[in-house]
Chain A
């Protein structure tokens, strides 16, 4: 059974840093592209970052230079390093698995999310 479990969220001051983790089970993350999506309170989903099976990464303009997506294949875990945090980064952060198939691109499994609150 595919499972994604996020952790690492919490309260952090503006300008601070945090590392989110997404522990995967039931599949091998290095065989899939993996993504982070966030949702600020009362608002919609916002795509944040993606890491492809080959290792290439992309980030949304809103977080470029401040967030870094990575993975540890030995731990089958996805990470998101958040730095220079701002109030507007307050959100629930979800990790999701990208479906790997011919002529298909979508996120088929999602974790339950971890809340990051940026406040002094």
Chain B
């Protein structure tokens, strides 16, 4: 049950796009299309942004998109806005257990 690997930080200017990677193994990300992404602002609970690799819940802006290739999933945020500054976590089903990534801090410059 090793954590998924995410970059510790990414940054971008307003209006730009950023991509956060999430690398797992053939036992989790590579084996299941059940990757989800959560946004967490300081002191708040996580909030679902993407589920099942590339599906967006209602209410989440279409600036957020997800994808997967092999053992690596990605979250892309286009048209960066100040309110996007937060921590982002990927999560993959791994056959019960589940596994999270270490988190990526997004800074909007």
Chain A residues proximal to chain B, CB less than 8 Å: 35, 37, 43-47, 50, 52, 58, 60-62, 94, 96, 99, 103-108, 110-113
Q: What would 5 A/B residue contacts be, using CB atoms closer than 8 Å?
A: A37-B46, A43-B103, A44-B103, A60-B1, A60-B97
| B contact residues, total (Cβ < 8 Å) | 29
**Chain A nearest Cβ from B39, distance in angstroms:** 11
The interface residues of chain A lying within 8 Å CB-to-CB of B97 are: 47, 50, 58, 60
| B49 → A minimal CB distance (Å) | 10
B18 sits at the interface (CB 8 A): no
Which B residues contact A (CB, under 8 angstroms)?
1, 3, 32-34, 36, 38, 40, 44-48, 51-52, 55, 57, 87, 89, 91, 93, 96-103
Contacts of A44 in B (CB 8 A): 3, 87, 89, 100-103
Question: Contacts of B47 on A, CB cut-off 8 Å?
Answer: 110
B96 adjacent to A106 (CB under 8 Å)? no
Given contacts A44-B3, A60-B1, A61-B1, is CB(A106)–CB(B100) below 8 Å? no
Once the chains are docked, how many angstroms separate the CA of A110 from the CA of B3? 20
B3: chain A residues within 8 A (beta carbon): 44, 46
Chain A residue nearest to B40 (CB atoms) is A45
Contact check: which of B33, B51, B99, B102 meets A99 at CB < 8 Å? B51
Contact (Cβ within 8 A) B46 A110: yes
Contact present for A105 and B52 (CB under 8 Å): yes
- Complexed CA–CA distance, A111 and B44 (Å): 10
User: Which one of B36, B52, B96, B101 has the greatest number of beta carbons of chain A within 10 Å?
Assistant: B96
Are A46 and B51 neighbours in the complex by a CB distance under 8 Å? no
Q: Which chain B residues lie closer than 8 Å to A108 at the CB level?
A: 48, 51, 57
A106, chain B: closest CB distance, angstroms: 4
Q: Which residues of A contact B89 (CB under 8 A)?
A: 44-45
**Are A104 and B51 within 8 A (Cβ)?**
yes
In the complex, A35→B48 CA distance in Å?
15
Contacts of A113 in B (CB 8 A): 45
* Chain A positions within 8 Å of B44 at CB level: 112
Q: Find B98's partner among A35, A43, A110, A112 (CB 8 Å cutoff).
A: A35
